Amino acid sequence: MNKRLAPTITIDGPSGSGKGTIAQKVAKALGWHLLDSGALYRLVALAARNHGVPLENEESLQILAQNMDVQFLVEDPEQPPRVVLEGDTVTRDIRAEDVGRDASAVAALPSVRAGLLQRQHDFRQEPGLVADGRDMGTVVFPDAQLKLFLTASVEERAQRRFKQLQDKGMSANLADLQAALQLRDEQDMTRPVAPLVPAEDAIVIDSTDMTIDEVYTELMNHARNQGLVS
């Protein structure tokens, strides 16, 4: 007998497109589970560093991807979940630029992606899942009920990141941020496995000139049209 799979909304797109913020807002509004798949790649990168595993050692990286002990604890629905790796809170550590760079490298390895697949499927539970990443609609949840692909110009995404860092009291250089984003996009879009591309049946939204609330409203309208929200 076929088990009914929980309804799923996927939100894919490049770094800084706002997908994480939107995914969190939608999951909270619907009372659904949230999968931040980028965090999983960041966790593999951090676990590799903690265990002294070189980023070329694909076999050990796959073992880490499959076996690392990770928890996402939703303590305050207004905030992203607390991320715990092998007993340590690493919510902030995984957001560091160098961890992001390493994450992009491990994400290009097919065995790491395969190693994380089951973990990602496990998030699909009732009453539903909002999953954000790069290949949620194409590879991980190809049968999702609603697929969104969120883009924005690289200039706008760099600006957003710059402002985020400033708000956190961290210093940053706009030109460097833009160059790093461009490089990350290039890596993510041209890799042979699960490259960053919209699913054929994805709704593409360019958020360059939109606020988070405008994107949210548009997504919720689509969700209503699909019968996912009353």
107 in contact with ligand DC (CB under 6 A): yes
Say whether residue 184 binds ligand DC (CB under 6 A): yes
Report the alpha-carbon distance of residue 137 to residue 152 in Å, rounded.
18
Q: Which of residues 65-84 bind ligand DC (CB under 6 A)?
A: none
Q: Which amino acid is at 228?
A: L
Which member of 38, 115, 128, 137 binds ligand DC (CB under 6 A)?
38
Tell me: does residue 85 bind ligand DC (CB under 6 A): no
Q: For residue 11, how far is the Cα from the chain centroid?
A: 8
Q: Which of the stretches 72-80, 103-111, 161-169, 220-228 binds ligand DC when contact is defined by CB under 6 A?
A: 103-111
**Residue 15 binds to ligand DC (criterion: CB under 6 A):** yes
φ/ψ of residue 133, rounded to 5:
175, -140
Is residue 104 near ligand DC by the rule CB under 6 A? yes
Is 154 a binder of ligand DC (CB under 6 A)? no
Q: Which is nearer to ligand DC, 47 or 107 (CB)?
A: 107
Pick from 26, 133, 141, 152: which binds ligand DC (CB under 6 A)? 133
Binding site for ligand DC (CB under 6 A): 15, 37-38, 41-42, 100, 103-104, 107, 133-136, 184, 188
